[in-house]
Amino acid sequence: MTLAIALMLYGATVATLGPPVLRRLTRRGNAPRLGIIAWVVAIVGTLGAWAAAATMLTVEFATYWGHPHDALRACFAIMWNPIHDGSGATKAVTFAVGALVAACTMAVVARAVSVVREMRRRTHAHAKALRLVGRRMPGLGALVLDSPERQAYCVPGRPDTIVVTSAALDALAPDQLAAVLAHERAHLSGRHAPLTAVLRAIATTLPGLRLVTAGTAEITRLLEMCADDKAADKHGSEPLLGGLLAILGVSEALPDGAMAAAGTAVLARAERLVDPVSRIRRATTRTALLGVIAATVTGLAFVAATVAFCSAVLG
């Protein structure tokens, strides 16, 4: 029970302190890949700690509930003698909390899985429809969709699909088009869409948890910057920036699971491409992010080790 409580407190601490610290370190995108890792570690550490606590309480509850007479006696003890401190009353409260936490955890997991499946179904259906109505152009490596909207986006599926509208083709110069397509290929090769799908499902399930909601938005923005970096390394910053500005102002809603070149934080990404940070500043940000990651991981290990040591000493 002590370890479960410690894990819940650890998760609450990371969920409270994590968002402002990580947002400050990742808002400029100085080290986008490491920023993504830091956010994911914080989210996984928090949810993992709470899930572990729920599992421990569930196991203890199930063990105790195997003796129904003791369970009833404990319940009567807490109802009739709420003021007095008794082991039965304490266990009844513990087990009630454990049952509640476990039930909430299972509900969250079931809801998140359901959302991910629905998003995947819609994404695959959209990709299938695109392959029916889109047309291939030799050497382009993408489907062309006749539309007045300037769009370029990728849809994961079997196979993965990159879509460019006819309006975007008319607006983009050849070097800009190559850079935009490289940006979308970076999303697909990096498997960015599945990560964002899982995070959005968790954020939908836990809308009140700022670590997840803010983390999902920040990770999505950082993934775009990662794709920008790959495209810029191959085709240069100027063609990519010109391509982003050429297709800026998308008004049509994108399908679930799609990732558009000019769909997220375009202004921040444009500033980053125009005015890249110095190596010293990038190294400083990397060091700070590595420190946050280490603190998150070692904090969890420290909590478990401390509780185990105290239990051994006092036990």
| DSSP annotation of 253 | P
What is the distance between the alpha carbons of residues 162 and 147, in angstroms, rounded to a whole number? 15
Average pLDDT over residues 233-241: 93
pLDDT of res. 93: 59
Question: What six digits make up the tokens of 264?
Answer: 């997220």
Dihedral through CA 245, CA 246, CA 249, CA 251, nearest 10? -150
Inform me whether the pLDDT recorded for 34 exceeds 90.
yes
The pLDDT tens digits of the residues spanning 111-166 come to: 778 877 887 788 778 777 877 788 888 888 889 999 888 989 988 877 888 999 99
Residue 91: exposure state from Cβ atoms within 10 A (0-12, 13-18, ≥19)? buried
pLDDT of res. 175: 94
The pLDDT tens digits of the residues spanning 276-293 come to: 888 999 999 999 999 999
Question: What six digits make up the tokens of 259?
Answer: 């990732």
The pLDDT tens digits of the residues spanning 61-120 come to: 666 555 555 555 554 454 444 444 445 555 555 556 656 666 676 777 777 788 778 877
Residue 228 CA, distance from chain mean position:
19
Average pLDDT over residues 167-177: 93
pLDDT of res. 111: 78
Residue 105's nearest CA partner among 57, 60, 63 is 57
What is the distance between the alpha carbons of residues 81 and 84, in angstroms, rounded to a whole number? 6
Close Cβ partners of 50 (under 8 Å, ≥ 6 residues apart) = 7, 8, 11, 101, 105
pLDDT of res. 98: 59
* Rounded percentage of the chain residues whose pLDDT exceeds 90: 39
